[in-house]
Structures are given as structure tokens and as C-alpha cells.
A and B are shown apart, each in its own frame.
Chain A
């Protein structure tokens, strides 16, 4: 009862309440929405970070305890976390904390993502060999979009930027709309399954 039925009942009641409030244009309904979304959900989300912390520490502490290969990297990850956390709390998000973000997190993040440029290029080289019409179409479109968005595209052919604009706003938009509709229908169906208790895997169930 406490382990299964009650959480499902809570899921149904809150889900149903949040769903019908959308169709009731009344101040009480709007207040209910604001309280749940702007207070309750955010507070619960804050506590959910305990999950993230637990996973982080469990993963790295187990590695350090068992002295697995490269365990000192895990030690460095924990040190980095504690260093960032203490610098933020001690300096109350002061200049030092901002510098840590600007000169460590931001460059690391940008470099990580820019690294993907090389891997995308090499993956494309292997995967995009124009073996059939569809692969050729994908390859040609990708090349046109890449060239058309930089000055060399305009230099090679004046109509290139317009062609890219047309690709983006006509065939690309048509397919993306179809995909979006599919995603939307899937999301609504999944949300209904969660509210009705058909989908329970997020609670660790079947």
C-alpha cells in the first residue's frame, strides 16, 4: 500500500488536478498552478539533486576504494566538486567563484563541444559515402547548408544564401513539422500513461 498504491494515487491526483486546472480560467485555478509550479516543483527538484550527488559520490568513492585503474582521476573530480562548492559558499558567489566559472568551466565546456567538430567530420567521412540517392541527398544538403552559411558560399555563388534559406524554410520545415507532430503525440500519450499509472518505470517498477 505505502510502497506502491499510495505513490500511484498521488501521481493520479496531482496529474489530474494539474491537467484540469488548465481548462478552468479562474483565479483559484491559476493560484493553484503557480503554487505547484513555482514553489512545490522547484523545492522538490532541489531535493532531487541529492540523487545526482549520491550517484557522483557512489561512483567515484567505489572507484577510489577498490583502487580501480585511474582512481586518482575520481579523487580529482571529488576535489574539484568540493573546491567549487566551498569557493561558492565561502565567497558567496564572489569574484573568485565567477573566475572559476569563466576560466575553467566555460573553456572546458566550449572545448569539449568543439572537439565534436572533429569527430562529426570523421564520422561523416565514413558514414556519408554516397551509396544511394537518400545518402547523397543528405550529404548534398549538409554541404550546401554548411557552405551557404559562411561568406565563401556567397562568394562562390550569389544565390547560395537564398538556397540555404529555402532549404531551411521549406523541405526542412516540412519534415521537422512532421517529426514535431510525432514527438508531440508521443509525449502526450506518455504523459497520459504516467498520470493514469500505466507507465511506472520511473518509480523503479515494471
Chain B
């Protein structure tokens, strides 16, 4: 056993233990670590923003040749954000918000239509190549049935009776399997993070293994 002598390892280990102390109950050590995390994260984001966005995309194109004077417009639009500091002019924030949200929404429409709708429908079609074997055929039919019944389950504009109700019931079977799988994956991801932290504490910090 050789405990680490690195100050950084000690800081990381103590912060890790401070967070895990929450497993016992909410306590000042956890809250301190939580608040430090909050402050550091925002500080980190601002530094990245400064060096990766403000310097190369605003400062350099404006003040160094070749000057891109057209950038004054988005900068002015962005500067309207400062309106939130004034009660009289806080409505100025609506301009950059309207521009950003609307442009982003418009960009997302073709993306969503293509990858979230059309590609999903296309991949679920029962085409001849999906019937290459008995196993593949069963899978293709199951995917098709699962997709249709899932959509039926989420369709609330029609009363669930007769065949429609039965289809919705089949749909929930598929949905439950999907939720179970998603849950299993989430737990596994968290457990792998836990293993990583334990390895750090045991190997890097305490030097036991």
C-alpha cells in the first residue's frame, strides 16, 4: 500500500468522498462539493467560450485583417442581451432570442423530418430483403408490428376499444421492453462510473491494488 503524495490526487479523492457522503445523508461536505462543482463548471464554460468563440469568432475577425464588418450585426443583436440588467429595456432580449430560437427551430425541421421521421419509417418497411431467413422475417414483422402498435398507444384522439384497444395493449408490451432496456443501460452506465471512481480511490489514491 502506497498512498499517493500528489496534491491533485488528494483533492480529487477528497472531493469524491465529499460527494459520496451524501449516501449517508445530506451534509455540509456534500453541499460544499456540490457548490464548488457548480462554480467551477460555469467558470470552465466561460473560459472555453472566451478562447474558442469570442476570440476567434468576434475579436479577431473584427480587429484583424481581413476585417469582417458584417459581424457587427450579430454582435449588436447579441449585445441586446445586456437589456436584462435594466428594468426599462429588458424587452431588448426578445430580439436575440427571437432570432436564435426561430433560426434554430427552422434548421431543425428538415433534420427532424429526415432522421427522426422518414428514416425511421423507411427502416421499418417490410422490403423483400428483410425476408432472407425465417429468423429475419420474424424480426422484421415484429419491428413493424411494434412500431405500429407503439404509435397507436401514443394516439389519444380515439377511444381505446375493440381492435384499437388491443393494438394499444400490444404497443405497451413493446414500450415496457424498451423502457426496461433503457433502464438497464442507464444502470450499467452509472455502475461503470462507480467502478471508475472506486478504482481511482483504491488504486490511484490509496495505492492498494
Using CB atoms and an 8 Å cutoff, list the residues of chain A in contact with chain B: 2-4, 6-8, 10-12, 14-19, 22, 35-37, 39-54, 56, 70, 73-74, 76-85, 88-89, 92-93, 97, 99-105, 107-118, 120-121, 124, 134-135, 137-146, 149-150, 166-185, 187-188, 190-192, 194-195, 202-204
Contact = CB atoms under 8 A, between A and B. Distances in A.
The majority secondary structure among interface residues of chain B is helix
Contacts of A150: 188
A171 B178 contact: yes
A185 B117 contact: yes
B81 A10 contact: no
B176 to A, nearest CB: 4
A184 B112 contact: yes
Contacts of B31: 70, 73
27 contacts: A11-B101, A14-B98, A18-B107, A44-B96, A46-B58, A47-B78, A48-B96, A73-B31, A74-B35, A76-B36, A80-B37, A80-B38, A84-B39, A89-B50, A93-B47, A114-B197, A117-B193, A170-B139, A171-B174, A172-B177, A175-B171, A178-B149, A184-B120, A185-B117, A191-B109, A195-B106, A203-B97
Contacts of B104: 41
B95 A10 contact: yes
A79 B40 CA distance: 9
Contacts of A121: 187
Contact of A187 (B34, B96, B116): B116
A15 B191 CA distance: 43
A14 B15 contact: no
Interface in B145-165: 145-151, 153-154
Interface in B83-119: 84-85, 91, 94-110, 112-113, 115-117
B15 A141 contact: no
B53 A46 contact: yes
Interface of B: 8-9, 11-12, 15-16, 19-20, 22-23, 28, 31-47, 49-51, 53-54, 57-58, 70-71, 73-75, 77-79, 81-82, 84-85, 91, 94-110, 112-113, 115-117, 120-121, 123-124, 139, 142-151, 153-154, 171-188, 190-191, 193-194, 196-197, 200
B11 A104 contact: yes
B172 A84 contact: no
Given A93-B47, A110-B196, A111-B197, A175 B78 contact: no
A149 to B, nearest CB: 6
A104 B188 contact: no
Contacts of A172: 177-178, 181-182
Of all A-B residue pairs in the complex, the 10 with the closest CB atoms, nearest first, are: A174-B146, A84-B43, A80-B39, A141-B180, A178-B150, A184-B116, A145-B184, A88-B47, A47-B78, A175-B178
A104 B36 contact: yes
